[in-house]
Amino acid sequence: MKKLLALMLAASLALSLVACGGGGTADTNTPGGGSGDATPPTVTGQEEAKNDTYKSVECDEVVLHQNAGDLKMKMLGYEIVEYEGKINFYIRLNIANETNQTFETMAHGFGPRGWQLFQDGVEANLVDGAAPPDELVTYPENEPSIKAEGKTDQVVVCWMLNDIDYDAEFEFDYDENTIATFFISEAGEKAASSRSKPDEEKTANADVLTPNFVIDGVYYSETGFPDPSDMGITVERYFEVNPGEKEEALDSNSKIWIFVFASLHSLKEGEGDTALPASVYQSSGPYYELPLYMMIANEDGIAVDGIHLSAYEANELNNKRLSKWWGSAYKSGRDLDDDYVLYEGEEDTIKIAGLFQVKYHDYKKAIEENQELWLRYGDYVTKFDCSNIIKKDDLSSIAQDLRDKELL
């Protein structure tokens, strides 16, 4: 169990910067405006600083067109500091305010209309904890007010996280526009070796598995979410408007949504009670999320493809749209009472749902090579044959399939 869980979490704080991308222009009045294509800039090396954990990068400047004028943003570097069991991920950037209004850094906060950090396409989730003292950080978090009409200032934004993958692609966004994309990787031969070899305890067999924790179904929703019916249109009309989301239009780097439904059952008489893992409080919501992880394993080792701490990566509004299809049966951290106990011999069950974003390439490879999908809920672990992932048009089709199987 310890080996499996260790592989699902980052093991080293030694980082090396590989590349950074970004640039182009973006329009903050259009969700997901993004930045244009740009040649990944070179690494400038580490800045002169009191910490060797700060990594300087050289990225293109991104221009965000606002109604009041332009904001120009350029990522300068990042730093990862572990303190009291939490990961503090700092990003330092330069902001030139060419609007006619003061830019209040603090007012924009975190989330789809503010700062966002993504790891391999999955948004990082904030947690509560004690912030590191300033002497441990090269550039501590700040919240400056940047005056109008050409004033410039350096801003440092920080995410406090439970864990991260130290071998991943990261994307830094503002208002759903990409400011920079950069890569970090574990340093040293030992770290590289640990990811290239299969875990013997995992492949040997099932002493790591939780016998009363099972996956009921795994689905790929071609329309993603929300359901087209939420927009008052059919699936066919949805694809007329969004032809690029049809599976045949996807490329290897496209992102798709995978829905995982699982059940935790009470044990037989004499085998003990089953307590639910504590949900994770997210102050950015605020709401609670399930301590739910997913990964995909094969004979060459373990690739973490959709690791996150949330039953739903979406915000509270989208969660309501999602949970209406199966909320009475499968729950997220927002509506699950984690004080509930499954008493031995009771034949009781708790059902949970997870939403993960993975690359289309990883999804196809997992199916074609019969890879194993591993799901961890707290300390409970189960697995699923990826060849059994079911593709459906939309959420309502997924819900119907669950009803046909008498799971709803």
Both tokens of residue 301?
């080792």
More confident residue, 32 or 138: 138
Strands in 105-166 per DSSP E: 115-119, 122-123, 145-146, 151-161
Cis peptide bond upstream of 243, omega within 30: no
Q: What is the DSSP letter of 298?
A: E
pLDDT category at 361 given cuts 50, 70, 90 is confident
- Are 136 and 101 within 8 A, CB to CB? no
283/393 Cα distance (integer angstroms): 34
CA 188 to chain centre: 26
Q: Are 95 and 73 in contact (CB under 8 A)?
A: yes
Q: Which of 294, 258, 256 is nearest to 377 (CA)?
A: 294
- Per-residue pLDDT of 256-283, as tens digits, reads 888 899 999 999 999 999 999 887 766 5
Tokens of 262: 């699982």
- Tokens representing 12 are 């080293």
Q: Dump strand ranges (E) for 222-269.
A: 255-265
pLDDT of residue 75: 92
- At 4-45, the pLDDT tens digits run 343 333 322 223 333 455 433 444 333 333 333 333 333 333
- To the question of pTM greater than 0.75 for the whole model, the response is no
Specify which of 164-168, 182-186, 271-275, 332-336 reaches the highest per-range mean pLDDT: 271-275
Residue whose pair of structure tokens reads 């993504």 in the numeric block: 118
In whole angstroms, give the CA distance from residue 10 to residue 313. Answer: 20
229 three-class SS: helix
**Which is higher by pLDDT, 109 or 293?**
293
